[in-house]
Structure 1
Amino acid sequence: MKLFVLLNLMFGVVYCEKILAFFFFPAVSHQNALKPIAKELSLRGHEVTLVTPNPDYNSSLSNLTEIDVSVGYEPFQFYDLTKLNRDSVYLIDLVLMGHHLYEDIVIRQLKAKGVKELLQKPADSFDLILIEGNTPAYFGLQHIFNAPLITLSSYGTGTYYHHVFGNPIHPVLYPDIFAQLSGPISNLLDKIDSLYVTLTYHLMAEYYMFPRMDKLVRPYFGLDMPYIGDMVRNASMMMLNVNPIISERRPLSANVIHYYKLHTPKIEELPKDLQEILDHSKNGVVYFSLGTNVRFQFLGGNIKEIILEALGELPYTVLCKWESEYQENKPKNVILRKWFPQESVLAHPNMKVFVTQGGLQSIQETIPNGIPMLVIPFLGEQPMNAKILADRGIAEVIMPKFLKKEILRDTILKLANEERYRLKAQQLRDVYMDQPQSDMDKVIWWCEYVIRHRGAKHLRSPSADISLYEYFMIDIFICILVAICVIYKGFSLLLIIAFRILGQTSSEVKLKRQ
């Protein structure tokens, strides 16, 4: 009996599923939000193959095999990501720029040696596929490996993908990321603009981006692969790194899951020199970082000088994440470094204000510490995030085109000195942190759920399988309009006939009298 129990325990330990995690986008913030899922799955006994541009090669994770696709970083030297906003370019050019960047990344990664070898594996190599679904390209992995697929995003997702998965896409209540608005929208011009963004992105995805990506990846995934748009619709589930407290609060279909806080590690001990700087900054500390994708060499004019002059006039110590640790005419109160342990810096009690670009990961690292933010949004979802934070009362926003020394300095002072911002930030922190279970447990459970049931098609919303004109009941309104027109025309014709008959009868009566 003891031997039988021991053997059962042994088999229980070695039992695992084979999982492919293809997290393609070359950005530290994206990888920080997604890679912990692959690592946790491996720690829970699953055999995980992780495709990432930022491999860790952690030998302690014996169940994790990494494939390096850092070649995806190469296209960034040709793209100015600070232009990925509607203040810089027209909407169509903005969408095209983002799509062409994705194409450049995907084609380089598909040609990488490790990915080529991966695509040669047998069809039954994996029980589950996880992808970063910002592009439709890697949905085609379903065709190669015949396994259920879950798409994840390190932030939210666009209106088109919400439509594909059956979530509500009302442009007044839930504006698209590129609308740079927070719903519900009250201004009529903003409503028109939001509708324009929603329809434009939908049409470009349907008739330009998806067909181009299908043509690009078909030679790698097989000429017999179904259309890439159908591959997207075949996905079992979508997981979004979103907290409804700081998002659009959109209702979700049963196969769409929210999670957050996965990327935030435990607060580590600060380097000794940095710890001393923060401890001795009795007036307080301001932390300035525009993330990893905003590069100062792309910023026009004298923006670097404006920022440094404004920071130099503050009565606080300023930690500034910069591309170089040397800058001519650097103020004495400003400390420039290429990297700071952001979570640990934000957790220090002397921290007063965080100046950020408004990336979701930076926001998620700030809110648990109850710190007011100054958001200078540049690209992607950052303008929308900034609007939401401002509406919640914990942030002020300066659009890059309005960035002046006096405005930057005075806004930081306002956030640091007016207690209402910190009180709002602390209230939001308490709501944000209050949840019934860890998000990692939620994500892992749903991954294993999809494996157990070989997909989750039974959770798919019926609204995911109807066209936009049916979703908005345009066909019904047209029928009603046609019916009204027919009734009106018929009634008008009856009146005309009636009047003619009455007229003829009246004439006949007159003739008889004569």
Structure 2
Amino acid sequence: RATALVVKIKQLKLDPNFNTEGGKILVVPVDGSHWINMKVILAELHSRGHQITVLRSAKSWYIPSNSTVYTSIDVPMLQDEVDINYYNKMLPDVMNCCRYPGFLHTFCVRFLITSMLTQGHDTLARSAAEILDNFVLMKKLQESKFDLMLTDPGMSLGVILGSYVKLLMVFNVRWLNTGEGHFAIAPSPVSYVPHTMSELHDKMDFLERTNNMLHYLYSVYQQYFVINPAYSEVFQRHFPPGTDLLSLQLSADIWLFRSDFVFEFPRPTMPNVAYIGGFQCKEAKPLPAELEAFMQSSGEHGVIIMSLGTLVSSLPSEITETIAAAFAQLPQNVIWRFLGEKPSSLGNNTLLVNWLPQNDLLGHPKTRVFVAHGGLNGLYEAMCLGVPVLGMPLLFDQFDNIVRLKMRGAARMMRVKLLTKEIFLEALKDLLENPSYRKNIQHLSQLHRDQPVSPLDTAIFWIEYVIRNRGAAHLKSAGLSLPWYTYFCLDVAAIVMTITGTFIWGSVLVCRCLCCRRSRKKMKPE
């Protein structure tokens, strides 16, 4: 399939009749770190001549209103009602879940996420209703005659709007409402496919499989009793009877999945899923003069890079003091993306910055270790550039992401709540002094790069494929439209059991009748 894709791309680029330039694409992104990778795709689409319109919140955290790549329309979205500091306020509760042992910790975190989802989906449902009731906006969108909706289904607004306007849909996806997108579209046996936020791997013992099954059942509860009810009024007013959020999501033509099987555990998939993990990665560029001088001043010891992503701006002060004190005892230099009050224990070897060119620093030959929260973007950059990771997961899928690198011998993982200076130093020294970590992540880097087509070219190909062919219905599995009892052949099992039971009951009845008749014949002579 990959070889055929290479040939197809080359043929299309050479064909004088090939023209998907000028396609009109409506984009509904998710803010925050999700926007960081979405804008990479948009820039490439723009360079190929496509016209792009982005729906954003007027209070967007990261999506600018003015751009040379796209035009924007402000609509009601989640950011209108949610403060970006919400995640900072949520972090202490997530950290406190560490006091629970084993799998109880993971369910504690999921309960917190459920509470957040309940509020978030109520807000998204109100936003969707307000947009669909806006006659002027809807008329403008329908008259624009877009060829395609490109959306991140981590938030539901794009899925609802694209379905209502009856646009072809392509997902830039990893997350859906209840977890990773695979669980909605592909068979996911709980015996070896770890569920989202379970912190499990693909070689589970009995207790781990039980834990995984409980996580699966909990996700079913979330979907049907927490998420779907939030949209019931919107669907009753604007969609045919029986519509729910999951059915709209499954109608997408292509799922551009922000991962690949160098990173993910092997699992079943579907023909309309294209893997584009690491598409945002690029070769490192030269650093600004001041940062380059700091890197070079580290000598043979090298540099440690630390960043905790976009959603959480700072850790509790006692944790930052512990981390700063540990860094101060190392011979390496440290560049730390840090917002907040400067730790009193900060050493002379540590440089605090408000922003850092993460990809360029990770690609620098002096970089030895990446201390990260476990966001997918950062982990793929570390994997592409071959830098071992000390993971300090904070929220959402970050725990699972670190587990995947840890299982491949390319990372260490620690709980922020349980962090001490000694534990932090031990983990860092292990990563710095044990060559297996760097060897393993460089092997992953080699595997990731050994592809016939770059992930970004793959993403653009499938977007343009949907525009050229007016969809990709031939790649959709019929199983996605079956009711659950038909999908699992429970109706067939019920009929077979009924027939079998009837046959057994009939056989027993016949035997009893024959035995009784024989008994009566014996009794008469006596």
User: TM-score range with shorter-chain normalisation?
Assistant: 0.7 to 0.9
Check whether the contact 1:163–1:464 (CA below 8 A) recurs between aligned residues: no
Q: Does 1:42 align with 2:46?
A: yes
Query: 1:403 is matched with which residue?
Result: 419
TM-score by length of 2: 0.83
State the shift of 1:480 in Å. 4.0
The residue type paired with residue 175 of structure 1 is P
Q: Percent identity?
A: 25
1:261-276 mapped onto 2 (5 Å cutoff): 261-276=278-293
Residue deviations 1:413-432 (CA, integer Å, cap 9, x gap): 00110111111111111111
1:247-266 mapped onto 2 (5 Å cutoff): 247-266=264-283
Q: Structure 1: give runs of 5+ residues left out of the alignment.
A: 1-9
**Distance in 1 between residues matched to 2:379 and 2:428, nearest whole Å:** 17
Query: 2:336 is matched with which residue?
Result: 320
**Distance in 1 between residues matched to 2:182 and 2:163, nearest whole Å:** 23
**Distance in 2 between residues matched to 1:430 and 1:265, nearest whole Å:** 14
| CA spacing shift, 1:77–1:56, aligned 2, 3 Å | closer
State the shift of 1:314 in Å. 2.1
Query: 2:307 is matched with which residue?
Result: 289
Query: 1:475 is matched with which residue?
Result: 491
2:28 to 4, 10, 22: 22
Check whether the contact 1:288–1:355 (CA below 8 A) recurs between aligned residues: yes
Residue deviations 1:64-95 (CA, integer Å, cap 9, x gap): 21345797174333343435685483634422
The residue type paired with residue 22 of structure 1 is V
Query: 1:427 is matched with which residue?
Result: 443
| CA spacing shift, 1:480–1:271, aligned 2, 3 Å | same
The residue type paired with residue 182 of structure 1 is H
**Distance in 2 between residues matched to 1:360 and 1:194, nearest whole Å:** 22
**Distance in 2 between residues matched to 1:197 and 1:444, nearest whole Å:** 34
| CA spacing shift, 1:432–1:147, aligned 2, 3 Å | same
When the two chains are superposed, the root-mean-square deviation of aligned CA atoms in Å is: 3.2
| CA spacing shift, 1:109–1:332, aligned 2, 3 Å | farther
Query: 2:358 is matched with which residue?
Result: 342
Query: 2:142 is matched with which residue?
Result: 123
The residue type paired with residue 78 of structure 1 is Y
Check whether the contact 1:20–1:48 (CA below 8 A) recurs between aligned residues: yes
SS of residue in 2 equivalent to 1:211: helix
Which structure's CA Rg is the greater one? 1
Check whether the contact 2:370–2:388 (CA below 8 A) recurs between aligned residues: yes
Q: Does 1:413 align with 2:429?
A: yes
SS of residue in 2 equivalent to 1:89: helix
Q: Does 1:77 align with 2:85?
A: yes
Q: After the TM superposition, which of the residue ranges 94-103 and 417-426 deviates more from structure 2?
A: 94-103
**Distance in 2 between residues matched to 1:429 and 1:78, nearest whole Å:** 35
SS of residue in 2 equivalent to 1:318: strand
**Distance in 1 between residues matched to 2:489 and 2:78, nearest whole Å:** 46
SS of residue in 1 equivalent to 2:140: coil
**Distance in 1 between residues matched to 2:372 and 2:136, nearest whole Å:** 40
Q: After the TM superposition, which of the residue ranges 448-457 and 321-330 deviates more from structure 2?
A: 321-330
Residue deviations 1:157-190 (CA, integer Å, cap 9, x gap): 856854543x11212222221222222x422122
| CA spacing shift, 1:324–1:272, aligned 2, 3 Å | farther
Check whether the contact 2:21–2:48 (CA below 8 A) recurs between aligned residues: no
The residue type paired with residue 17 of structure 1 is G
**Distance in 2 between residues matched to 1:211 and 1:133, nearest whole Å:** 18
Q: After the TM superposition, which of the residue ranges 306-315 and 240-249 deviates more from structure 2?
A: 306-315
1:191 to 209, 213, 226: 209
**Distance in 1 between residues matched to 2:78 and 2:115, nearest whole Å:** 22
Q: After the TM superposition, which of the residue ranges 355-364 and 453-462 deviates more from structure 2?
A: 453-462
**Distance in 2 between residues matched to 1:277 and 1:152, nearest whole Å:** 37
Query: 2:162 is matched with which residue?
Result: 142
| CA spacing shift, 1:273–1:234, aligned 2, 3 Å | same
SS of residue in 2 equivalent to 1:366: helix
State the shift of 1:436 in Å. 0.5
Residue deviations 1:327-381 (CA, integer Å, cap 9, x gap): 2232222222221111111111121111111111001111122111111212211
Q: Structure 2: give runs of 5+ residues left out of the alignment.
A: 1-15, 98-104
Query: In the comparison of the two structures, how many residue pairs are matched?
Result: 488
| CA spacing shift, 1:471–1:289, aligned 2, 3 Å | same
